[in-house]
Structure 1
Amino acid sequence: MKEIVKINLDNEMDLILAHKRSMKIAEMCGMPSSLQTRFATAVSEVARCSIANGENSILTLGINVVKTTHKEIVAVLNDDVDLKTCNPEAFRYASKLSGNIAYSYSDNISVTKFSQKVSSPGLLSEAKIKSLVDYFKYESPLSPYDEMRKKNIELIALSEKLSESENRYRQLANTIPILICIINERNHVLLINESLQETLQSSFTVFERKELSTFVHPDDLDVIIENWNRLKKNKSEYFGEARVKKGDSYRWYLISITPNKIEDGTFTSWLVYFVDIHAQKTVEETLKNNSELKAIQRELENANSKLIFKNKELQQFAYIASHDLQEPLRKIRIMLSRAGEDLTEEQKNQYYFDKIMGAAGRMSDLISDVLNYSKVDNNVHTLLPVDLNEIVHETINDLSLVIEEKNALINISPLPIVAGVSTQLRQLFFNLINNALKFNSEEPVLTITADEDSSEEDQYKPIGNYQVIKVIDNGIGMDNKYSGRIFDMFQRLHERDKYGGNGIGLALCKRIIENHNGILNFTSKPGIGTTFFVYLPK
């Protein structure tokens, strides 16, 4: 059954709605006036019984397509009470009116189904059925009660969307290895993530000297308090270092305190995050106190630079968690508050609800991308034989709807078997192929091939024994001046409203290749296309 409209049966006003909408759907399907009345009255009789005796009563009106030449209007009433036992007379009368009524009761749920064959099924096309759905979706309220009920349903749906977004945001905040808390203007701690809770192993409710002294080293406490008092006056940022107690010892952390502002510049709270830099500080102290380590200082500095780079990535995660991920949530809250005002349906559809859905969608996509990136770690994995032919064909199958929509042509040559992690290689090719389809202003043509020698095309070809896979597209390409940026986190070279994405895909690809001890290069020309060279060790 294709659902057209649903009505919760709570009171006599809902009974009126049930009767009018049953009549209307019968009229719009071309049913004669006499049958319209009989069908709507039969539905109303059982609906009246449900309102009087039932619980959690829901009436659903729809169209059932049995076959091309047989279509029928269907009304299904679900209830948690055995209605027929409560009022058998109502069912006898409804059956006399309609003739096509079925009733069942099991597992404490009763289902009453009315059906009425449509006399001209050929006129009830898919487009016509869709127009019925749109009619009841956007119809003017039948009464102030109906208008209030519609608003309540919309608010409940928006509230559920908001709750889902908040839960996913909290999941991300608890996943990243950074200690995060949010503080209001009165020094009260509004939120802390699980990482900070586990580190402190105690409550943390107020950002002030007495509270901080329980976990910040005494020698570092005065600097934090002094800067905190300064920040509260001029709403500026602070970056410093301090030792934080973890268990029975202290570890060095980079502390960042930044004002949390919304789009119009209004200050709302303070974001505080702690990034573990204990390894760097240990290296610094060791080099400072032991002159005999000068010979290996260069190697330690190299390791230290890598740690700094990783911490930079973690800071980027904190920025996303505190700002980019909060913006869609703020928009949802703003729109939610406005949705309850006295607005027409046209105004809500045109200015607010679409924006709410767009913000929630971007929030969901961004959280998914960031979580995917954080899950691809650099730990040693057991590399197993992976058939790239299977990986690529599975990816093509996953993207089949996009390929069909864009009328894309994809050529795949036989690919080798490599040593790797199948889930990560699937992510790699998914992002490369999806980018080729996305960043394309014409019908995409994509070629995936294995090549023993790419030296003529790739001037940065690495030295070593590698399998080389080329992914070639005819997309929009990019200027060489961006070659040093495209693999960075959150880098976007195009406007969001023209090409989607969050600037994480190629950063994820590079990380996967590094996990496989491989190399990812590319060549590109604006307006002509891009070729990616995937080097995986043989």
Structure 2
Amino acid sequence: MKEIVQINLDNEMDLILAHKRCMKIAEMCGMASSLQTRFATAVSEVARCAIAKGKDSLLVLNINIIKATQKEITAIITDNVDLKSCSPDAFIYASKISHHIEYQYSNNQSLTKISLPIPSPGLLSETKIKTLIDYFKFETPLSPYDEIRKKNIELIALSEKLAESENKYKQLANTIPILICVINERNNVLLVNESLENYLDKPLLSFDRKTLMNFIHTEDIDGILEGWNKAKQNRSNFLGETRIKKDSNYIWHLISIVPNKTEDGSFNSWLVYFVDINAQKMMVETLKDNTQLKLIQHELENANSKLRFKNKELEQFAYIASHDLQEPLRKIMIMLSRAGEHLSEDQKKKYYFDRITSAAGRLSNLITDVLNYSRIENKEQYFEKVDLNKIIIDVLGDLSLVIEEKHAVINVNPLPTVFGLDTQLRQLLYNLINNALKFNAKQPSVKVLHENVPKDEHLPIGAENYEVIAISDNGIGMDSKYSNRIFDMFQRLHERDQYGGNGIGLALCRRIIENHNGIINFTSKPDEGTTFWIYFPKNKLYTAKLSLKNQSSN
């Protein structure tokens, strides 16, 4: 056990110091803010009792190395008085918020031990422990304890709201009728949803031949492993079919292996999911026997019904998750605002209120963006004539404050009338013009043009069948190497502190354009600006997609 710091519990300032050091050591060991607060509050409750009722009280904060893969923070409070008998309510409250508390009293001395497991013990090296010891030698004085305890209670309430929201999200994920697991590059299974866990007889711990033989048909294993190896080498998707054992039968499933990308585009894990396609496979087999025609039709209807149901669930999942997360998040932001009303700017900074509020705001924006993306559906039967001139007037009105603030110059040529959905086209133009204003380090100049596009080898074939809108700016531009990822979900080319956003706006634009049977592309150079080209079919019945000349040459 490595001793980090000792605190003699004599007065209120020692109580404040104990709380601060508990929070800091938990933070430096990689604990979440909710765990930091719970641990520090539990220790403070017992320490407050020791200061009020105890004698010769001492608090020692340690790092307990149980083994290389198991470490914990421990707070040990010793006293010459039976503290628990003196203040039972304090120990009840400390036990409620920390489930790792032990107490004993013998030979006229009490010992209280409060521990907190460290989530990543391998990262806590001897050098890091020495850094912890050195850190507390140079601490600055703290504010009064009563204010800290009040704010900690509010933070605990917020953490409980967050936990409730997280549990609801997990419950939604587990109700999807798809078998899902997440694996890393070493074939270790990181996560299994309840559907897959309940489906298997044995737990799935690794994604290799030995484990797959427990539930995959032996004839299908080589194909899966070959596809899995190619996916890992090429960082690409794999799609195949396999038979999964259920009781004494094998059920056909579609298997998909998809790489998980981080915000910077790197890979950290793989998503594997299985979808039941047994009804479709049975239908194909039944087609071989003409005497089973009626059965085929029945199976076809059932299969199509199940597929529509599953597709609907997948489409609604993002919407449901985003919608249900908005309400608790809104309450959390209100509580954060109220909790900070009576704090000074120094206190807000000390308790990380700015960081918490900023993180909650980014989460709210992300949920809203995912919600908007999930609402885009292809319903051509509701398409009607939409005057883009009216749309652009409303969009510029919505952006008027930003335009005035940046002294932006906006030039708009008369625009055509196209077939589409008013709300989606409004969102499309808003996102593109807003990006032109946002990603700009100088006075923005934005042009929205409708004109005959000159012939060029880089233009799409068949452009004469489309209305072409060009939105150009003089902004920061981008390198051509990002052309393959700019329209992907959650893709950002800049740090968050440089330019805001969640990386969903252009993905939403592409989905809207595809929903209108059109296409969107762009030309751009760093520091010279960007031009987005939008192609709308001139005829409502013309639905053929454009093809690019440079694609046919590749």
Tell me the TM-score normalized by structure 1: 0.46
TM-score by length of 2: 0.45
